Homo-oligomer: A and B are copies of this chain.
């Protein structure tokens, strides 16, 4: 199953385009799964239509309750195309490669969220700051209170878009390959090769002033 929402905290309920046509067992109607996929991601893939053709661009995002925020330079083509237009935002985590006994049943263990909706240009200054805060915190938790906040000039050059988490689908695949019955006898190894993503050691800016240590919220990030 896949899903749309009503009030916060309620299960996602489907619309025609979020209802899974296939592999229904991979859908989740749990709103917490949607939050988990979004909150543990770093970038999303923003889909817009430009001159009738699709354009998919990787970009940052952040979530505040049931609103997803995107931002960009007021001059950016993708942001202009997304403004007050239908968009699709997709976030996916790849957790491992599923190695089956037959080529066709190879797959990926993943957690994925797809959100559809109209992207509203945020004009309220307080909401714009909320958007920029959650965008910054998504990429780098703790940095909104640590780094210099945006000034007037920067705010004037930045467009913030809001997308409600009203129409969303969540798909999750976990575990073993699913092979055809007769293939389980084949002398072929099958299983999952996990993909592990970790933070490395922080690399200081070449121009870093002396005597500034890596803060715990960066060096201790898990």
Q: Say what secondary structure dominates the interface of chain A.
A: mixed
Cβ-defined contact, A94 with B42, below 8 A: yes
A190 to B132 CA separation, bound complex (whole angstroms) = 19
Known interface pairs A189-B215, A195-B200, A196-B197; A114-B75 also in contact (CB < 8 Å): no
Cβ-defined contact, B195 with A199, below 8 A: yes
- As a 0/1 sequence over residues 93 to 122 of chain A, the CB contacts with chain B under 8 angstroms (1 = contact) are 010110111111010101010101000000
- As a 0/1 sequence over residues 138 to 155 of chain A, the CB contacts with chain B under 8 angstroms (1 = contact) are 011001101111100010
Known interface pairs A43-B94, A183-B148, A215-B189; A88-B203 also in contact (CB < 8 Å): no
A201 to B97 CA separation, bound complex (whole angstroms) = 12
A199 to B197 CA separation, bound complex (whole angstroms) = 9
Known interface pairs A195-B199, A208-B189; A149-B103 also in contact (CB < 8 Å): yes
Cβ-defined contact, B60 with A53, below 8 A: no
Known interface pairs A184-B209, A191-B205, A197-B195; A47-B58 also in contact (CB < 8 Å): no
Known interface pairs A52-B49, A76-B21; A199-B202 also in contact (CB < 8 Å): no
User: Is A198 in contact with chain B by the CB < 8 A criterion?
Assistant: yes
Q: With a CB–CB cut-off of 8 A, which chain B residues contact A90?
A: 45, 56-58
A172 to chain B, nearest CB (A): 12
Cβ-defined contact, B88 with A55, below 8 A: yes
* Copies of this chain, tallied across the complex: 2
A56 to B113 CA separation, bound complex (whole angstroms) = 10
Cβ-defined contact, B189 with A212, below 8 A: yes
Known interface pairs A193-B218, A195-B197, A221-B193; A54-B209 also in contact (CB < 8 Å): no
A181 to chain B, nearest CB (A): 11
A104 to B21 CA separation, bound complex (whole angstroms) = 41
17 pairs, CB–CB < 8 Å, chain A vs chain B: A17-B55, A42-B108, A45-B92, A47-B47, A47-B56, A56-B89, A58-B92, A58-B112, A99-B140, A99-B202, A106-B143, A189-B214, A189-B215, A193-B218, A195-B198, A196-B200, A197-B197
